[in-house]
Chain A
Amino acid sequence: MSVVDRPIASPVSPEADSYPTHHFLNHSKGFLSWALTLDHKRIGLMYLVGVMASFALGGLFALMIRIHLWNFKDGWLSNQTYNQVFTLHGAIMVFLFIIPSVPAALGNFLLPIMLGTKDVAFPRLNLSSFYLWVTGLVLFLTALSVTGLDTGWTFYTPYSIETSQGGAVLAATFGVFVLGFSSIFTGLNFIVTINTMRPPGMTWFRMPLFLWAVYATSIIQVLATPVLGITVLLLSAERLLGIGIFDPKLNGDPVTFQHFFWFYSHPAVYIMILPAMGIISELMSVHCHKGIFGYRMIAYSSIAIALFGFLVWGHHMFTSGMADVTAVVFSALTFTVSIPSAIKVFNWLGTMYQGTVSLNTPMLYALAFIFLFTIGGLTGLPLGALSTDMHFHDTYFVVAHFHYVMMGGTLVAFLGGVFHWWPKMTGRMFNDKLGMVSAIIVFIGFNMTFLPQFVLGSRGMPRRYATYLPEFQPLHQLSTIGSLTLGAGLFLALVVLLLSLVNGKKAPRNPWGGATLEWMCSSPPPHDNFSSAPTVGDPYDFSDIEYDGRVGSYVKRS
């Protein structure tokens, strides 16, 4: 494996690579031309801004939690406020950030271009998904400011029925309901687009793996989210009308709530991770300049994950009371889902083997992803095993596990993807050196924050507690320092991106040497994506793509 430093950020004169004078960003002007746009690229960008802002908000809450936990008692938040802060942190991160992050932001921008079409199948539905997302955001902010939501992001009954913060529970569950429909419509749109709108030549197995991943994700979004919808609807009916279905006082069953909730929320973790895996498949092959290893296995494993993911929700409830046989079956099924995930990891490593690795910002994030996701996935196994889960359940071990997969996995891949496609989306190159520094800080900060939490959890530190035993203090403090480092790294990443808008060099058509269709249209793409129908080839054939120093871009050898 050799590392080649390619001059990706070399200056580009506009005439050399025909920097477009007319593109989707300046196609029309004014606030309304964005607010009412039906262009998937603009909708994608609006989502990108939205989810990043939500991430910043959720991140602030996270830092509040970590700072509170610096001392083992008498932190700066009251116990009540602490509960509200971790609830909002979780709910915002899950429902407002991570679920829409890759599919709705990057997916919206990329899917039609990668597929070679003008737009998604239902552009109006696409815009309404975005506004549903905004409505959800408003409802969450209401829950935040009017009263404090303190149920945890899981809204477990009977607490969510009894808590005095009733208005907040109503606002938040209604918000989740609306966000659910936003997600369903996005998924529906993508499935239809991929099924019916592929141009001639774009067969299923010529689709970039990112699209396979988004397709699998969409299937989960369409099949799982309605169940969450009815669950939160029944929960709000519980608060409004006291229907009692989940209320033990009225002969209802709170464990039924947990079943309903996790029937959605376990598949939802694959809504979060699958598109991230899709990003990594693209990044790995493009930045190694080598065809992806095991294309079909990666494609099939995405679908396998999507389907198996529906059968394992019970592993969140091993301690809630369920029949022994059921528990064993859920445990066994849980192990089977890790197989397709492992297949993907092996394939990415196989792609790097003997590749020509360009070590740049997107690639660094991709490498960080593989490392962190592997840890996250492997620590899922002790949680899926019945005996060990009795010990680990509701401890910091679980917290560390899901942060390794959600943050170390999805967020890091999302950032990698944003850096990778940033030149395409904005037409600007960012400062690669600074970007790499941000990736390294994020990687170090992340491990410093969450590795200690595995140790804390296995020693018995319960999750969601505002105070803890004095002997846990050193590890908690290490974690807090790590979180501040992590925050600094993420902030740097944001600065790098924003700086590029101010003084970034104009981006060439194909800065990294990709072979998928989006690199064939200009950066940024024109309003209709392609002036004439693109010729579809193998998305991972790099043999005829080479760097041309004169235009500062990769070009197809003719």
Chain B
Amino acid sequence: MTAIQETHSTTDHHHGDDHHHDHPSWLAHHFDDAEQQYDSGKLGMWLFLVTEVLFFSGMFCAYALYRNRNPEVFEFCSSFLNEKLGAINTGVLLFSSLTMAWAVRAAQLRQHQLLVGMLGATLGCAAIFLGVKSVEYSHKWELGLLPGKFYVAQLEGHHGPHKGYLEMLCAVPALITFLLAAYAVYAWATKSIFHQRVAGPLLTAGICFFGGVLLGQYLEAQEEASKSHGGHHEHHAMAQGHVDHDSHEHAAASDTHTHDHGAPAVPEVSPAVAMGGSPDVYVASEEVNTPKAEVNQRSMAGLFFSIYYCMTGVHAIHILGGMLVISWLIIKAAREEFHEQYFGPVDNVGLYWHLVDFIWIYLFPLLYLIT
């Protein structure tokens, strides 16, 4: 420890480069003092968060518009989303916000070990979130619940699950985790405290991703079991591959009625297949009479899934971005760069992380819960 204490006191008092003799190294040369630097960073981050909110607001607008126009589509489709997985992810993100806030405090108090640990915990939560999300995505792709014109669930020509999506999604994380494991071995072999401090949390996060995948798979299987108990939905969904021509016509005809704003009824897209006589397991029993055939087509359910993938996808990209900057913080924290005068980066990344979390808090009820 003493060695590290020393390094840090040198950074603290070691005066910056060339001509600015009153500037410590952590204070950029064009700022007068620590306070100005901190205030600038903070204001900059808040402005950035404003742009993020506006960026998402476009999609929230689209959600509101189409939900308002076709509420039955949203009701029908949200039952395809697994609330359990959504709830788990909400909990994971909320917890990660706690660890992030704790990290800020640790940075202020020079608790370097704790700081690395808290940042690592946040990173791990983010990885779990993405793991669970991968299970959700791949499961939907298998069912053909794809966006817009690719939506094929229960439509003509969709023949059963195409496995392997989850493996595809896991390939890159697996590679990264493998590399991190190699890095960890190197860190312990060379006995470098710095590398150990960095490699530890990063490798843990890589493993957390697969933990998330397992958790997701377990819960998804459970859901499956309870569903098939009620009515074999998997079979039901997939067995509809063949067109029953009468209901085909019927569906197409009733289709045009629902288009109240003059949009043509999907000419080149094959019309929906009626879901057959047996009650659908996705809808509660009082909704059995919902005209599902009109909903289950590209211009209806497809549009819901477009919005679903756009919103959760852009959100997931923000999680990835957050993971990158948190990793950068871990490196800085392992070098013990932060102290009560200089913790702006941790604070600002924290703000960003809370926003990403906050957006999910909206996405979860809007997409999964409201029916």
Contacts and interface: CB of A to CB of B under 8 A. Distances in A.
Given A192-B44, A197-B36, A250-B266, A229 B55 contact: yes
Contacts of A197: 30-31, 36, 40
B58 A230 contact: yes
A188 B47 contact: yes
Given A118-B30, A188-B44, A223 B54 contact: yes
Contacts, number: 131
Interface string B261-280: 10110111100000000000
A251 B57 contact: no
A242 B54 contact: no
Nearest to A250: B299
Interface string B237-265: 00000000000000000000001010110
Nearest to A121: B40
Given A121-B44, A122-B44, A244-B303, A226 B55 contact: yes
A251 B147 CA distance: 13
B149 interface: yes
A153 interface: no
Nearest to A242: B149
Contact of A234 (B58, B66, B269): B58
Contacts of A227: 54-55, 57-58
B109 interface: no
Interface string A222-234: 1111110111011
B62 A251 contact: no
B151 to A, nearest CB: 9
Contacts of B36: 196-197
Contacts of B43: 191-192, 195-196
Given A244-B148, A244-B306, A250-B298, A117 B30 contact: yes
A223 B306 contact: no
A248 B263 contact: yes
B306 A243 contact: yes
Nearest to B48: A188
Interface in A522-539: none
A253 B56 CA distance: 19
Given A192-B44, A196-B43, A260-B58, A245 B50 contact: no
Interface string A190-230: 01110111000000000000000000000000111111011
A226 B52 contact: yes
Interface residues of B, number: 47
Contacts of A249: 263-264, 266-269, 299
B153 interface: no
Most buried by B among A121, A193, A233: A121
A80 interface: no
A31 to B, nearest CB: 22
Interface residues of A, number: 43
B54 A251 contact: no
B51 A225 contact: yes
B306 A192 contact: no
Contact of B302 (A117, A184, A222, A244): A244
Contact of A192 (B28, B40, B55): B40
B50 A222 contact: yes
B147 A242 contact: yes
A224 B29 CA distance: 32
Nearest to B50: A222
SS class of chain A's interface: helix, strand, loop or mixed?
helix
A469 interface: no
A122 B310 CA distance: 31
A241 B303 CA distance: 11
A475 B259 CA distance: 47
B47 A250 contact: no
A237 interface: yes
A459 to B, nearest CB: 33
Nearest to B268: A249
Nearest to A224: B54
A123 interface: yes
A256 interface: yes
B303 A250 contact: yes
B283 to A, nearest CB: 21
A251 B267 contact: no
A243 B310 contact: yes
A244 B47 contact: no
B300 interface: yes
A249 B298 CA distance: 10
B366 interface: no
Interface centre among B61, B264, B300 (most CB of A within 10 A): B61
A252 interface: yes
Nearest to A218: B47
B62 A245 contact: yes
Interface centre among A224, A231, A247 (most CB of B within 10 A): A247
Contact of A256 (B44, B65, B307): B65
A119 interface: yes
Nearest to B307: A245
Contacts of A234: 58-59, 62, 310
Contacts of A122: 40, 44
B45 to A, nearest CB: 10
A242 B148 contact: yes
Nearest to B39: A196
Contacts of A224: 54
Contacts of A193: 40
Contacts of B307: 245
A241 B150 contact: yes
A118 B20 CA distance: 13
Interface string A259-303: 010000000000000000000000000000000000000000000
A230 B55 contact: yes
Contacts of A244: 147-149, 298-299, 302-303, 306
Interface in A102-158: 117-119, 121-123, 125
A197 B150 CA distance: 52
Interface-centre pick from A122, A123, A241, A247 (highest chain B CB count, 10 A): A241
A227 B299 CA distance: 25
Nearest to A219: B47
Nearest to A260: B58
B39 A251 contact: no
Interface of A: 117-119, 121-123, 125, 184, 188-189, 191-193, 195-197, 222-227, 229-231, 233-234, 237-238, 241-245, 247-253, 256, 260
14 contacts: A123-B30, A197-B31, A223-B51, A223-B54, A227-B54, A227-B57, A241-B150, A242-B149, A244-B303, A245-B306, A247-B148, A251-B259, A252-B263, A253-B261
Given A230-B57, A241-B150, 11 more contacts: A222-B51, A226-B55, A238-B148, A243-B306, A244-B303, A245-B303, A245-B310, A249-B299, A251-B259, A251-B266, A251-B300
Shortest Cβ-Cβ A-B pairs, 5 listed: A242-B149, A230-B58, A243-B306, A251-B299, A244-B148
